[in-house]
Structure 1
């Protein structure tokens, strides 16, 4: 994994601005702590920061190859999991390789098949390839959007990067935000609208899209999307195919030249991935697999069951580590660490995010990085297989909005009247919701319930899942850790997308088809365990600490946050002597304490980035 950035400009000689490219590249140092490289010609400048995972000695970027008089130059962030198959195919076609890294395979694939190469790739990636003959830059992002890619375009000029910070480092780009951007911050929240970069004139290349920048302009197209088809496999065949796809995916993603581990919560998803990985390690004689988990000091004293977190992870982690014989590492964080992590988590995202859920993941990844460079994680299983409680609750299914926006009115009640009048948050969210529904690929013949469950799956895969993928990428790469997400393999997603809902919930259980597919791989009690998400702190000291942070902000007349909130109402909430209140903020995901932490992140972001409101 790495960080990439670049600048195409038909109006300037970019060789005169090497320091600009250096500055853009340096902002991504945390994504690639092992090496740095830049490449500049008259109208194209490319920068790269490297985290060495495959062929550390020979995979330096930008990578350059020549074919006749044409020069091809690539900057690339990601992993190609079918690189070995592609390499063999390319060698049969006469191509010669000088490294064992997937970067060279990717660049050679482009040289052989042109822009059609994207259809052959299995992996997570964001890359740009400069073609000197065409005077063009080809930009691509992976199908599910696991790796990020942002850009800003004006006539004759394109600036892009793995993160907004690399683009904001360019002197022609200012950190400005419009009413629409404010709506994304205060109404939509962490679940950003696809393609929306929040900052003015800054966009995100959507998952499954590619773009071409040449003398004719900047053109974007989708090369992949979900397609609805009749599912003809019976229950047993379906479960077997899910099992085969998942095992193949995990095994592909265990290939690495550096230490690799898995994240283990004792839940269905992480336990399945860990079981497959442990089996592979045993077969290949690689020694015991290392696993990692996260929790919080005194959480055992303060934990309370709820629909989203029905039980504690600790006993289940112990169950799985003993069952599989892994070498397990526990990470525990206390309230002061968690509070302090809110700022670096904001800087890692370049935006306010999921509050302590982001911050704790940042701390967790930092601990993992001390022992490993690559980790396997269970993100996306709930979106793909329909595991969240809101898939199974009538109020969420019939709400006429995103399930994470059920409490939007409560959130709007905390915003200043001026902001609410300007951005019209409820209308904005409704418009974004309708936009999403209009995209859903329908299947003729489905009844009302089947159609609604297809809609819910689409909302989760295309709107909510990117939130968690963005979080996982940004928090892990902020400390130079690569995280792979097998449940995002596009073959698995395509197949499960068309499994009928009644089959997905086989046995009258959420993710029933996945549970059926994993029979024999996991202990029966783990196989039937109710979903429990990434853990949050339940310590009232954390609530008290983030309340104090917000009260300090409210007492600071220079705070840029004050213009956007009802100060008196927030002060009243923060002054209440109640550490266990449950004020909804972003649905069931961020409640009381997270609301205060989020406001702190917004204030931190506005101050640090000196964001101008336009």
Structure 2
């Protein structure tokens, strides 16, 4: 998880407002505690805070690549699961890479295919790319909206960030809630209307959508939508296909330059994911997969079985961990530890 922020303003000189950009990205430090960076030109400013997973040395952001006299600058939050395939294709087209991060591959994919690059991406993402020659900002969000991205127009300025608090750190975005925002809070909360940003004039880039901002204005388009089709496969074919897709998804998400683990509850979902991950570890690593589970202090004393939950997770997590041979650890949490984060909850949400 990382954080991105920035803005474009045709009437100001943003090189004089570095402190504003740094304040915006500072609000996102919990999303990216490992590193932070900013890039500023007269009309555009991008910022990034980073949680390092892949390529610690070569994946710093904002990242800049040149082609001829043009420069492309990216700030990106997410993970691509088809980085190696995209990289091979782009290398065949003449691109050369300085590191092995997915950030660099994503940036060159945009340089090669423009806005159509999103059609080739397998992953979760929210990113912004400034095209210096065209003086345009391109933003995109993954198909299911795993990674957040908010934006607003304020006069000649277009301001964006991973979270609402990044926008509110900009002096042009006061924390004003209008009638629509109040309806979101009192009628729908904790849910939210897709695309609505609670505060006056703030919008959310919807899942499966892209946005281009330039001197002609803001242009939004949808690049993906979920489609329903009749299911024609028999049971055996369906089971094989679902198994293959799940196995492929798990293996692709194990790519990292930092330790990898799974959270194991003993239920069907986490056990299946852990089983595929453990199998990949046995094939590719000399060390067993690490698994973690969470339990509450004295849960064995106070737990009462019911039809939905006939027994505690502990029995099943231990059984699955033993069967798969994982290096397992159960983390016990007491009541005080459980309640402690609630004191900071409002500041994390940065919304009423």
Same fold, TM exceeding 0.5?
A: yes
Measured in 2, the distance between the counterparts of 1:348 and 1:319 equals 37
Query: Would you say the 8 A contact 2:31–2:51 is kept in 1?
Result: yes
Secondary structure in 1 aligned to 2:228?
A: coil
1:283 deviates by 0.8
Measured in 2, the distance between the counterparts of 1:325 and 1:185 equals 46
Measured in 1, the distance between the counterparts of 2:46 and 2:290 equals 37
1:93 deviates by 0.9
1:288 deviates by 1.0
Query: Would you say the 8 A contact 2:21–2:45 is kept in 1?
Result: yes
Q: Deviations over 1:176-235 (max 9, x none)?
A: 222332332233222222112222222211111110111111111111110122222222
1:26 deviates by 1.3
Measured in 2, the distance between the counterparts of 1:134 and 1:309 equals 58
Secondary structure in 2 aligned to 1:338?
A: helix
1:48–1:307 distance in 2 versus 1, CA, 3 Å: farther
1:228–1:155 distance in 2 versus 1, CA, 3 Å: farther
1:274–1:184 distance in 2 versus 1, CA, 3 Å: same
Measured in 2, the distance between the counterparts of 1:316 and 1:114 equals 48
Measured in 2, the distance between the counterparts of 1:23 and 1:41 equals 17
Number of the residue aligned with 2:193: 193
Which structure 1 residue ranges, 5 or more long, are not aligned?
352-605, 607-614
Number of the residue aligned with 2:105: 105
Which aligned segments of 4 or more residues in structure 1 are displaced greater than 6 angstroms? Answer: none
Secondary structure in 1 aligned to 2:171?
A: coil
**Structure with more helix by fraction:** 1
Tell me the TM-score normalized by structure 2: 0.96
1:39 deviates by 0.6
Q: List aligned pairs for 1:498-577, cutoff 5 A.
A: none
1:300 deviates by 2.5
Over the residues paired in the alignment, what is the CA RMSD in angstroms? Answer: 1.5
Measured in 2, the distance between the counterparts of 1:163 and 1:308 equals 36
Number of the residue aligned with 1:232: 232
1:153–1:306 distance in 2 versus 1, CA, 3 Å: farther
Q: List aligned pairs for 1:327-406, cutoff 5 A.
A: 327-351=327-351
Number of the residue aligned with 1:71: 71
Measured in 2, the distance between the counterparts of 1:181 and 1:321 equals 46
Q: List aligned pairs for 1:570-589, cutoff 5 A.
A: none
Measured in 1, the distance between the counterparts of 2:193 and 2:172 equals 25
Q: Deviations over 1:429-474 (max 9, x none)?
A: xxxxxxxxxxxxxxxxxxxxxxxxxxxxxxxxxxxxxxxxxxxxxx
1:334 deviates by 1.6
1:310 deviates by 4.7
Query: Would you say the 8 A contact 2:74–2:107 is kept in 1?
Result: yes
Measured in 2, the distance between the counterparts of 1:181 and 1:310 equals 42
Aligned residues: 352
Measured in 1, the distance between the counterparts of 2:173 and 2:150 equals 13
Query: Would you say the 8 A contact 1:155–1:217 is kept in 2?
Result: no
Number of the residue aligned with 1:588: none
Number of the residue aligned with 1:245: 245
Q: Deviations over 1:375-420 (max 9, x none)?
A: xxxxxxxxxxxxxxxxxxxxxxxxxxxxxxxxxxxxxxxxxxxxxx
Larger Rg: 1
1:328 deviates by 1.4
Measured in 2, the distance between the counterparts of 1:310 and 1:93 equals 57
Measured in 1, the distance between the counterparts of 2:309 and 2:143 equals 30
1:98 deviates by 1.2
Number of the residue aligned with 1:265: 265
Measured in 2, the distance between the counterparts of 1:78 and 1:36 equals 15
Query: Would you say the 8 A contact 1:264–1:291 is kept in 2?
Result: yes
Query: Would you say the 8 A contact 1:143–1:224 is kept in 2?
Result: yes
Q: Deviations over 1:77-114 (max 9, x none)?
A: 11111000000000111111111111100000000111
Measured in 2, the distance between the counterparts of 1:91 and 1:233 equals 38
Matched, 1:45 2:45: yes
Measured in 1, the distance between the counterparts of 2:335 and 2:202 equals 35
1:333–1:30 distance in 2 versus 1, CA, 3 Å: same
Number of the residue aligned with 2:137: 137
Query: Would you say the 8 A contact 1:48–1:61 is kept in 2?
Result: yes
Measured in 2, the distance between the counterparts of 1:5 and 1:184 equals 24
Tell me the TM-score normalized by structure 1: 0.56
Number of the residue aligned with 1:175: 175
Secondary structure in 2 aligned to 1:271?
A: helix
Number of the residue aligned with 1:528: none
Q: Deviations over 1:150-180 (max 9, x none)?
A: 1112443211111111111101111122233
Number of the residue aligned with 1:166: 166
1:129 deviates by 0.3
Query: Would you say the 8 A contact 2:150–2:162 is kept in 1?
Result: yes
Q: List aligned pairs for 1:470-489, cutoff 5 A.
A: none
Query: Would you say the 8 A contact 2:123–2:142 is kept in 1?
Result: yes
1:308 deviates by 5.3
Secondary structure in 1 aligned to 2:239?
A: helix
Number of the residue aligned with 1:60: 60
1:95–1:313 distance in 2 versus 1, CA, 3 Å: same
Measured in 1, the distance between the counterparts of 2:305 and 2:173 equals 47
Measured in 1, the distance between the counterparts of 2:306 and 2:40 equals 55
Q: Deviations over 1:534-566 (max 9, x none)?
A: xxxxxxxxxxxxxxxxxxxxxxxxxxxxxxxxx
Tell me which of the two structures has the higher relative contact order, counting C-alpha pairs closer than 8 angstroms and 6 or more residues apart.
1
Number of the residue aligned with 2:12: 12
